[in-house]
Amino acid sequence: MTATRKIIVYELRDIVRSRWILFYALFFLVITEGLFRFGGGSANALVSLSSLALVIVPLISIVFGAMYLYDARSFTELLLTQPVGRVALFKGLYIGLALPIAMSFLLGIGIPLVFRGILATAHLETALVLAVSGTLLTFIFVALAFLVAVTVEQKVRGLSVSILLWLLLTVLYDGLVLALAAFFADYPLERPMLVLMLLNPVDLARVLLLLTFDLSALMGYTGAVFEQFFGTLAGKAISIAGLMSWIVIPLVAGIRRFKKKDF
Amino acid sequence: MIEIRGLVKRFGPLRVLDGLNLDLVRGKVTAILGPNASGKTTLIKCILGLTHFQEGTISFDGRLLDGTHTYRRKIGYMPQVARFPDHLRGREIIAMLKDLRGRPESTDERLVEAFQLGSELDKPVDTLSGGTRQKISAVLAFLFDPVMLFLDEPTAGLDPVASSMLKDRILQDRAAGKTIILTSHIMSEIEELADNVVFLLSGRVRFAGPSDEVKSTTGQDGLERALAQIMTRDSNEIPA
Amino acid sequence: MDHDTAGVGHRTRLIVAILITAVVHTAMGQGIVVSPEGPVRSISEAIRQVEPGGQVTVRKGTYREATIEVDKPVTIIGEGYPVLDGEGDRQLMTVTADSVTIRGLEFRNVGVSFVEDRAALKADGVRYCRLESNRFINTFFGIYLARTSQCRVANNVLQGMGSTETRSGNGIHLWYSKQIEIANNTVKGHRDGIYFEFVEDSSVMENVSEVNLRYGLHFMFSDRCKYHKNIFRGNDAGVAVMYTDSVEMIGNRFEHNWGSASFGLLLKDITDSRIQDNHFVENTVAVYAEGSNRIIFERNDFVENGWAVRIMGNALDNVFMRNNFIGNAFDVATNSRRSNSRFEENFWDAYRGYDLDRDGYGDVPFRPVRLFSLIVEKLEPALILLRSPIIGVLDTAERVLPSLTPETLADTRPSMRRIL
């Protein structure tokens, strides 16, 4: 077993015993079940669940990710005095945290979905895209959280930066896109919009979910451009690559900072 | 054992370690002393590899520290304040460090008995008192029979019984030829344990040598007074 | 028989006609039998032989013959659905006499024509025809009525060629006709399922028109017609009706007409009409109204549509009462700052108000036009931000402090409960 894997094993054990990870799973369990019970049809329920997940998953991932790394600081120091490399330790801490958060999300939405037989319906594709994008968003925002936590020394300031980053990617970015679109309304905007959506992981996940609902019909020519792009193998590859690079780039930047960091 | 030459550590414009030279001798207990912000903790962290330094060299048994971590197999470290993952049990933390060290065949768990930790090791860490966590931290430092031990304020937070147990252990290890570096604010403790003292001031070694020598050169009887005299003499030398 | 649209005179005349047919039929006995085994092997021959008012019975088999002209009042009845095969190049049957009944035939393979409206069964300039329980498979136009009146087209099943819009004709096509009853037919795979042009006082009841290449129902200049309990489902462009007064659409289902240019119901220059108790489910745009005035929309269900109602500024004095708006991406969209329509006592699932006096109606008005719907009206690419949290923020801000959305477009008495 590599040092990374050893760290993951013990960190997993620590986190699955913590109350907040249980609450997180329960939150999605109750919300999912509630939406399917009272939400008026499974399509509606999945729409609401997706919208909620796209906001909550990044928020919880980045806040708990940053909090965890700040709180683990002195234990991290102790581990660094052991014969363990910094890169191995960082990777171990990262996976050991992102994995249980993602699992918690998947269990929370998965149990009601399986139990209600949604996976055997026409909504299978949406459910799968939701599961995959929720998982990827978890890994993305925990990676961002780790980058913030190794860059900003103070915990309070680091948590503020994390929340701002979340706000930027989930809300403000789209506001800027809207403002840009309004400003350049006289130009053909379909392709620039496509690029802007590819650049933000939350938007990319949202658009992928929209397309599973066949909402492109609502979107006229824009929808057709998006549908065509994501319908091709290259489009799918680019969107997966886009999401993956949102994991890899913050993680590599985080590792570089972590290697240089003074404890 | 450990040779430090021209060590410089800057935080921004502040030179925390300012061209520090020091030899730490095998088989002795060395106390690192100095006023607040004199660079004690930074020095220890540089040796442990927790903190990077800009200039100078540190060599361990004749080999320069170059960022690799294998030398840390020979080191035990007890931090000032011990914090562990909240939901792990003491026993699991011990098992984790053993795993990380590749499960050595023999480990030294004498302190577990000495501290009578037994059942405490089966409780989640976040339910334990600060003192008990400090005991676990001491157990971890001595666990792998290291040739060199860094103890940062080791008795702070320990009750008198545990404190004397730990001091006994330190003296036993010295007798067994281990090198021990400690910091403490309790002068009686240093007088009791330390063979050598290193006195840091503004990032440099102001004095290093056997603790008896400090007293004889200053003409003071107690270590504390001797050190105080060094400091006042220094501050008088600084031009206004 | 249900002939609400027809006057008493019309009804009497029809009954008389049927009586005469029956009497003549009895007098003639069995009439002529057509069978592949002979002695009469062709339907044209049988029509030549039969007395007016007589019956031609067609035995099971496949008949390939030149276009059959039914030029006397006869009843043609198929046994076990005999097949009339046009082999892809000709019209199968033309009715040119009054009081003709065609029942139980299967019409097949009428090829595409770009010079004539070639149909499987065409009735031209006749009255009192009854075209019932026939099948039409792979035909260009199916049933074609021109200059006819007092006819009944019922229980037919039409399956078009379903290739492309231009290579396909309409299922049931009416032109310059009146007092026609279209009931219980099923039409699939045609250009338009049911097509009316210059048709008056007719009724379309309980038909199913689905997966047609253009419209499930398409009419224009067809005043005073009724459309009850039909299902229009999965048609490429939905349903479009234009330039008509006094339309009555009750209890129909407009379902899954989904596509970038698809409408549950497109109303253009429709006036003084009633649209009631219909279900609009999963349409890109459930109702689109342009230049349409004084229409009453009552007790309709708008469920899970892209836009439930898109009403243009040139549509005046329409009333939306007691409709249900549930799970639509946009409830109401408009291109105008002014509202020229009234909304009363509808149920809106997006309503977040309260009902302190417990009278079943919300105490604060509901504004169904979202700011976002105004934005996308002007800036279509912004639609890609659908369901982004920023849109929720903007919509909420606009609802609290309306500044851009039509201030007068509001339901002042929104129902707290779904209207049943």
d(CA B150, CA B143): 13
Which of B79, B87, B101 lies nearest to residue A74, judging by beta carbons?
B79
A19 touches chain B (CB under 8 A): no
d(CA A58, CA A165): 10
For B150, counting Cβ atoms within 10 Å of its Cβ (0-12 exposed, 13-18 middle, 19+ buried), the class is buried
pLDDT tens for A88-126 read 999 999 999 999 999 999 999 999 998 888 777 778 888
- Sketch the domain layout of chain A as residue ranges: 3-260
pLDDT classification of A225: cutoffs 50, 70, 90: confident
Query: Which has the higher per-residue pLDDT, B74 or C155?
Result: C155
Contact C43, C56 (CB under 8 A): yes
C8 touches chain A (CB under 8 A): no
Block residue for tokens 């035995």: C59
**Per-residue confidence (pLDDT) for residue C10, from 0 to 100:** 67
C236 touches chain A (CB under 8 A): no
Against chain B, the chains showing at least 3 CB pairs within 8 Å are: A
Task: Number of helices (H) and strands (E) in chain B: give both, helices first.
Answer: 8, 10
- Sketch the domain layout of chain B as residue ranges: 2-237
CA-based nearest residue to C84, from C51, C58, C59, C62: C62
d(CA B77, CA B181): 10
Mean pLDDT confidence for A139-146: 97
Which of A50, A203, A218 lies nearest to residue C284, judging by beta carbons?
A218
Chain A residues 53-82 with CB within 8 Å of chain B:
71-75, 77-82
d(CA C270, CA C278): 17
d(CA C48, CA C66): 14
Chain A residues with CB under 8 Å of C383 CB are 218-220, 222-223
Query: Which has the higher per-residue pLDDT, C254 or B221?
Result: C254
Q: How many CB atoms lie within 10 A of CB A148?
A: 25
**Per-residue confidence (pLDDT) for residue C44, from 0 to 100:** 93
Question: For residue A160, what are the CA distances in angstroms to A169, A173, B145, B216, C306?
Answer: 14, 18, 43, 55, 38
CA angle C196, C198, C204 (to 5 degrees): 40
Distance of CA C181 to the CA centre of its chain: 13
Is C333 contained in some domain? Answer: no
Q: And the tokens for C28?
A: 């003639």
**Into how many domains does chain C fold?**
1
Cis peptide leading into C39, omega within 30 of 0? yes
**Per-residue confidence (pLDDT) for residue C27, from 0 to 100:** 44
Chain B residues with CB under 8 Å of A83 CB are 69-70, 72-73, 100-101
Chain C residues with CB under 8 Å of A226 CB are 384
Is C39 contained in some domain? Answer: yes
Q: Which amino acid is at C35?
A: S
Q: How many CB atoms lie within 10 A of CB C294?
A: 15
Instruction: Provide DSSP, C211-256.
Output: S-SSEEEEEES--S-EEES-EEES-SSEEEEEEEES-EEES-EEE-
Question: Do A83 and B100 count as a contact with CB atoms less than 8 A apart?
Answer: yes
Question: Do A77 and B85 count as a contact with CB atoms less than 8 A apart?
Answer: no
Instruction: Provide the shortest C-alpha distance from residue A202 to chain C (in Å).
Output: 9
Find the domain containing C79 and state its range. 1-236
Q: And the tokens for A209?
A: 């979910």
Is C251 contained in some domain? Answer: no
pLDDT more than 90, % of chain C: 65
Cβ-based interface (< 8 Å): residues of B facing A: 11, 45, 48-52, 69-70, 72-73, 75, 77, 79, 81-88, 92, 96-97, 99-101, 124, 137, 140, 150
Chain A residues 167-226 with CB within 8 Å of chain C:
170-172, 174-175, 177-178, 181-182, 185, 189-190, 193, 197, 203, 206-207, 210, 214-224, 226
Count of A-B CB contacts under 8 Å: 76
Mean pLDDT across chain A, nearest whole number? 91
Instruction: Provide the shortest C-alpha distance from residue C248 to chain A (in Å).
Output: 28
Instruction: Provide the shortest C-alpha distance from residue C354 to chain A (in Å).
Output: 19
Which of B52, B75, B83 lies nearest to residue A75, judging by beta carbons?
B83
pLDDT more than 70, % of chain C: 92
Question: Do B45 and A74 count as a contact with CB atoms less than 8 A apart?
Answer: no
SS3 track for B163-196? HHHHHHHHHHHHHCCCEEEEECCCHHHHHHHCCE
**Per-residue confidence (pLDDT) for residue C6, from 0 to 100:** 45
Sheet containing strand B29-33, strands side by side: B75-78, B148-152, B179-183, B29-33, B196-201, B204-210
d(CA B218, CA A220): 90
Chain C residues with CB under 8 Å of A171 CB are 388-390, 393
Is C76 contained in some domain? Answer: yes
d(CA C28, CA C52): 10
CA-based nearest residue to A132, from A209, A68, A197, A59: A209
Question: For residue A24, what are the CA distances in angstroms to A16, A20, A27?
Answer: 11, 6, 5
Q: And the tokens for C278?
A: 């219909």
CA-based nearest residue to C300, from C332, C338, C346: C346
Q: Do chains B and A touch (3 or more CB pairs under 8 A)?
A: yes
Which of A175, A217, A219 lies nearest to residue C384, judging by beta carbons?
A219
CA angle C63, C66, C71 (to 5 degrees): 100
- In sequence order, the 6+-apart residues with CB closer than 8 A to the CB of C176 are C146, C147, C197, C198, C199
pLDDT classification of A224: cutoffs 50, 70, 90: confident
Which chain A residue shows the shortest CA-CA distance from C329?
A218
Question: Do C393 and A47 count as a contact with CB atoms less than 8 A apart?
Answer: no
Structure ipTM? 0.88
Chain C residues with CB under 8 Å of A219 CB are 260, 380, 383-384, 386
Contact C256, C280 (CB under 8 A): no
pLDDT tens for B187-201 read 888 888 899 999 888
Is C281 contained in some domain? Answer: no
**Per-residue confidence (pLDDT) for residue C5, from 0 to 100:** 47
Question: Do B50 and A10 count as a contact with CB atoms less than 8 A apart?
Answer: no
d(CA C320, CA C345): 8
With a cut of 50, which residues of chain C have pLDDT below it? 1-6, 26-28
Residue C272 Rama label (left phi>0; alpha psi -120 to 50; beta): left
**Per-residue confidence (pLDDT) for residue C66, from 0 to 100:** 92
Mean pLDDT confidence for B36-49: 86
C349 touches chain A (CB under 8 A): yes
Instruction: Provide the shortest C-alpha distance from residue A4 to chain C (in Å).
Output: 37
d(CA C15, CA C26): 16
Count of A-C CB contacts under 8 Å: 90
Best of B87, B145, B147 to substitute, by most chain A Cβ atoms within 10 angstroms, is B87
pLDDT more than 90, % of chain A: 66
Question: For residue B220, what are the CA distances in angstroms to B101, B185, B187, B212, B230?
Answer: 46, 19, 14, 10, 10
Which chain A residue shows the shortest CA-CA distance from C377?
A219
Chain A residues with CB under 8 Å of C391 CB are 174
Mean pLDDT confidence for B139-146: 91
Distance of CA B183 to the CA centre of its chain: 5
CA-based nearest residue to C262, from C299, C226, C298, C307: C307
In this structure, what CATH number is given to the domain that contains residue C81?
2.160.20.10
CA-based nearest residue to C121, from C80, C72, C44, C67: C67
Question: CATH homologous superfamily for B2-237?
Answer: P-loop containing nucleotide triphosphate hydrolases (3.40.50.300)
Question: Do A172 and C390 count as a contact with CB atoms less than 8 A apart?
Answer: yes
Q: And the tokens for A240?
A: 């997966």
